[in-house]
Amino acid sequence: MTKVLCVLYDDPVDGYPRSYARDDIPKLERYPDGQTLPTPSAIDFKPGQLLGSVSGELGLRKFLEDQGHTLVVTSDKDGPNSRFERELPDADVVISQPFWPAYLTEERIKKAKKLKLAITAGIGSDHVDLQAAMERSITVAEVTFCNSISVSEHVVMMILALVRNYIPSYQWVVKGGWNIADCVERSYDFEGMNVGTVAAGRIGLAVLRRLKPFDVKLHYMDRHRLPEKVEKELGLTYHPNVESMVKVCDVVTINCPLHPETEHMFNDELLSKMKRGSYIVNTARGKICDRDAIVRALKSGQIAGYAGDVWFPQPPPQDHPWRTMPHHGMTPHISGTSLSAQARYAAGTREIIEAFLGGKPIRDEYLIVDEGKLAGTGAHSYSAGDATKGSEEAARYEKV
């Protein structure tokens, strides 16, 4: 029988919801590129429920226990005495979400003697030491496309929030003020600006498509070029490297995975090449930016604003400087875990487990590592290596 160890974020502080703000979520037929939505044999939850927190259990308990398997669900994931680390030695499958990642470092993989499959309930498997997973022939799979559109919507929101100075203006209202000059001294129109995305994969391309109606000038850089038809349709300027793109952009959005090639891509040197007063929106991974270089660039005015929902490590300790740096629009990691997205990645996680338990192949597009090498989406979008170093710091976080 299989032991599935699942790490999820905590329930709301007031307890697991008994009712919801809305009664349903839209039913989608397909993803924009034609890929089918998850196809598990069944689901044991109502789409729109909170599934990503401990009591939601990704809707997996009944399905697994009916077949005699064991499901352990915990949010206690950091440090050597965490429940995650105690349960790891005899776990066959680990499930974790990027929002509250159970870092599978080389050291932990060594302890996980029985581990065969690490599932990311979401997208982005950088919390797993992919090099160590390859060496141990552990399969790493994620639910490709499940929340790419969710994130692209968030990116548009954050770009507008920064450029138009939304968050400080909202705060003046809450404080009881009517301080129009204070609100607008950093407020601009987005129209006409140059906007560039680092990577034009599922999220990056969706962001470009959503930004087109704002009459902005669109740029992208990626390792593979988009089809000429798409470049023409959206009026895109392609840049072979990130330096050439950031030099001309007023807004830069980061949408590539974190892997050794992209770790700390936005360091002091690259930031110094950006247009003074540009904005960065990073919903990809915190570690793609050098933490302290971002703070320095905001303080000096080299960049006018930074927003995103991804940090390193997660959760970030209370003294993480991005909590207090000037002109930021940071949230906890939420863009890919709307209730709508949860329904898709819970179903996708079940699809992956069903394939694993039934001895059937996991969809190629879900694979990051398989049979000792990068595979599927992993082979296209990642490079070999490890990006988990420093994740132990997550143990310093204290709940508020």
222 scored as a contact of ligand NDP (CB under 6 A): yes
Which member of 47, 101, 124, 316 binds ligand NDP (CB under 6 A)? 124
Report the residue number, 34 or 359, with the smaller CB distance to ligand NDP: 34
Amino acid at 72: V
- 272 is written with which tokens? 């110094």
Report the residue number, 2 or 381, with the smaller CB distance to ligand NDP: 381
The answer to whether 132 and 385 have CB atoms below 8 angstroms apart is: no
Which member of 46, 223, 232, 389 binds ligand NDP (CB under 6 A)? 223
Distance CA 361, CA 351 (A): 11
Stretch that binds ligand NDP, among 60-68, 169-177, 201-209, 270-278 (CB under 6 A): 201-209
Of the candidates 123, 121, 126, 127, the residue with the CA atom closest to the CA atom of residue 149: 123
Instruction: Catalogue the active-site residues.
Output: 147, 285, 314, 333
378 scored as a contact of ligand NDP (CB under 6 A): no
Which member of 377, 387, 388, 391 binds ligand NDP (CB under 6 A)? 377
309 scored as a contact of ligand NDP (CB under 6 A): yes
123 scored as a contact of ligand NDP (CB under 6 A): yes
Stretch that binds ligand NDP, among 12-20, 131-139, 163-171, 373-381 (CB under 6 A): 373-381
Stretch that binds ligand NDP, among 25-33, 80-88, 199-207, 348-356 (CB under 6 A): 199-207
Element (H, E) at 368: strand 367-370
Distance CA 198, CA 284 (A): 10
Distance CA 35, CA 123 (A): 15
The residues, ordered by sequence, that sit 6+ positions from 163 with a Cβ below 8 Å of its Cβ are 187, 188, 189, 190, 193, 251, 279, 305
363 scored as a contact of ligand NDP (CB under 6 A): no
How many other β-carbons are positioned within 10 Å of the β-carbon of residue 167?
16
335 scored as a contact of ligand NDP (CB under 6 A): yes
Which member of 58, 199, 307, 347 binds ligand NDP (CB under 6 A)? 199
Give the nearest distance from C-beta 196 to ligand NDP in angstroms. 11
Report the residue number, 169 or 337, with the smaller CB distance to ligand NDP: 337
52 scored as a contact of ligand NDP (CB under 6 A): no
302 scored as a contact of ligand NDP (CB under 6 A): no
Give the nearest distance from C-beta 356 to ligand NDP in angstroms. 22
Amino acid at 150: S
Distance CA 317, CA 51 (A): 25
How many other β-carbons are positioned within 10 Å of the β-carbon of residue 259?
22
- Intra-chain end-to-end CA distance of the chain, in Å: 38
- Which residue's Cβ lies closest to ligand NDP? 201
Report the residue number, 169 or 253, with the smaller CB distance to ligand NDP: 253
Which member of 140, 151, 387, 394 binds ligand NDP (CB under 6 A)? 151
DSSP string, 209-278: HHHGGG--EEEEE-SSPPPHHHHHHHTEEEESSHHHHHTT-SEEEE-S--STTTTT-B-HHHHHHSPTTE
The answer to whether the peptide bond before residue 98 is cis (omega within 30 degrees of 0) is no
What is the Cα gyration radius of the chain?
21
Stretch that binds ligand NDP, among 52-60, 202-210, 270-278, 296-304 (CB under 6 A): 202-210
Give the nearest distance from C-beta 89 to ligand NDP in angstroms. 28
Give the nearest distance from C-beta 244 to ligand NDP in angstroms. 13
104 scored as a contact of ligand NDP (CB under 6 A): no
Indicate the burial class of 56 (C-beta count within 10 angstroms; 0-12, 13-18, 19 or more): buried
List interacting residues with ligand NDP (CB under 6 A). 122-124, 147-148, 151, 198-204, 221-224, 255-258, 261-262, 283-285, 309-310, 333, 335-336, 377, 380-381
